[in-house]
Amino acid sequence: MIQVIMGLKGSGKTKRLIDAINNAVANAQGDVVCIEYGSKLTYDVNYRVRLVNSKEYEINNLDKLKGLLSGLHAGNFDITNVYIDNLYKTIGADRATGEEFIAWCAKFAEANNMNITITVSDDPAGASEAVKAYLV
């Protein structure tokens, strides 16, 4: 399953993400991973969450983020929840590339029995119908 939290800057996306992460840790049957741009969530999420700073691994485009997700799953089949904060900053991309990644994530999540939640700093009114299906 995939969920997208989309809104303009200051709309509360990160707060909703933090709540979802901490909820998942309390209820998930597996491991929880959060990929963030920088290290600002360190003190906001439960210590059992594996925080991955995308800057440390030079994740700056679509293919590298796909590779990171694939590698995380290959190394740990117990990951049930993945959270990606600030997609556009992480991959240095725009709406079209972001929508391509979201479509890939939907297939990846279904094939690997994962829940993936992504925050996107953009106007939800401008999202494609395919992405609107995943908005929460």
Domain spans, the chain = 10-132
CATH of 10-132, one of 3.40.47.10, 3.40.50.300, 3.40.50.150, 3.40.50.12170: 3.40.50.300
Amino acid, res. 36: E
Lowest mean pLDDT among 23-37, 50-64, 87-101: 87-101
Q: Which residues on adjacent β-strands are paired with residue 115? A: 81
Residue 26 has pLDDT above 90, yes or no: yes
> In terms of residues, how long is the chain?
136
* 114-122 mean pLDDT: 95
Confidence (pLDDT) at 23: 95
Q: If pLDDT is split at 50, 70 and 90, which confidence band does 93 have?
A: confident
Q: Which distant-in-sequence residues (6+ apart) come within 8 Å of 121 by Cβ? A: 6, 7, 8, 9, 13, 86, 88, 89
In this prediction the pTM is: 0.94
Confidence (pLDDT) at 134: 95
- CA 91 from chain centre, in angstroms, equals 12
3-state DSSP assignment of residue 88: helix
Q: How far apart (Å, rounded) are the C-alpha atoms in residues 15 and 21?
A: 10
Confidence (pLDDT) at 80: 96
The pLDDT mean for the chain works out to 94
Residue 92 has pLDDT above 90, yes or no: no
